[in-house]
Amino acid sequence: MLRHLHIENYALIKSLDICFDDRFTVITGETGAGKSIILGALSLILGNRADSTALHNKEKKCYIEGEFDISTLNLQFFFENHCIDYDSPAILRREINELGKSRAFINDTPVTLPVLKEFALHLLDIHSQHQNLLFTNSSFRINILDQFAGNEKCLKEYLSLFTQYDKGKKELQQLLEAQFHTQQEKQFSEFLLQELEEAHLESGEQERIEEQIRVLSYTELIQSNLFQANQILSEEDLSVIPLLKKMAKNLETISLYDSHIQSISERVNDIILNLQDISFELARMGDTSTLNPELIVSLQERLDKIYFLQQKHQLKTVDELIEKANTLRKTLLNIEDNNERITHLEKQQKELFQATLDKAHELSSLRSSKINSFSDKIMQTLKELGMENSAFSIKIEKEKELSQTGADHVQFLFSANKGIPVEEIGKVASGGELSRLMLAVKSIITQESLLPTILFDEIDAGISGETAGKVATMMENISSFCQLITITHLPQIAAKGKKHYYVYKETIDNTTFTKIKELDNDERITEIAKMMSGEEVSASARKVASELLNNTKIKN
Residues 516 and 534: their CA atoms lie apart, in Å, by 20
Residues 19 and 25: their CA atoms lie apart, in Å, by 9
- For residue 199, the SS3 value is coil
Sequence-distant (6+) residues with CB within 8 A of 243 are: none
Cα pseudo-dihedral 105, 160, 148, 70, rounded to 10: -20
Check pLDDT > 80 for residue 30. yes
Q: Report which of 242, 266, 244 is spatially closest to residue 255, judged by C-alpha positions.
A: 266
Any bridge partners for residue 515, and if so which?
Answer: 504
Cα–Cα distance list, 275 to 263, 289, 403 (Å): 19, 21, 96
Q: What is the pLDDT of residue 292?
A: 67
Specify whether the backbone of 152 is left (phi greater than 0), alpha (psi in -120 to 50) or beta. alpha
Number of H helices, E strands in the chain: 17, 15
What single-letter amino acid sits at 29?
A: G
Residue 293: Cβ-neighbour burial (10 angstroms; 0-12, 13-18, 19+) = exposed
pLDDT per residue as tens digits for the range 484-538: 999 998 999 999 999 999 999 988 888 888 999 999 999 999 999 998 887 778 8
Give percent of the chain above pLDDT 90.
29
Q: Distance between the two ends of the chain, CA-based, in angstroms?
A: 20
Residues 265 and 272: their CA atoms lie apart, in Å, by 11
Average pLDDT, the chain: 85
Check pLDDT > 80 for residue 42. yes
| Structural domains present in the chain | 1-123+452-518 (3.40.50.300)
pTM reported for the whole predicted model = 0.63
What single-letter amino acid sits at 136?
A: T
Residues 492 and 494: their CA atoms lie apart, in Å, by 6
Q: What is the pLDDT of residue 233?
A: 75
Q: What is the pLDDT of residue 555?
A: 60
pLDDT per residue as tens digits for the range 248-260: 888 888 887 778 8
Sequence-distant (6+) residues with CB within 8 A of 382 are: 390, 392, 436, 437, 440
pLDDT per residue as tens digits for the range 66-87: 999 998 888 898 899 899 999 9
* 16, containing H or E segment: strand 13-19
* Residues shown for the chain: 556
What is the rounded radius of gyration, in angstroms, for the C-alpha atoms of the chain?
48
pLDDT per residue as tens digits for the range 385-434: 888 889 999 999 999 899 989 999 999 999 988 888 999 888 888 777 88
Sequence-distant (6+) residues with CB within 8 A of 304 are: none
Contact 412, 392 (CB under 8 A): yes
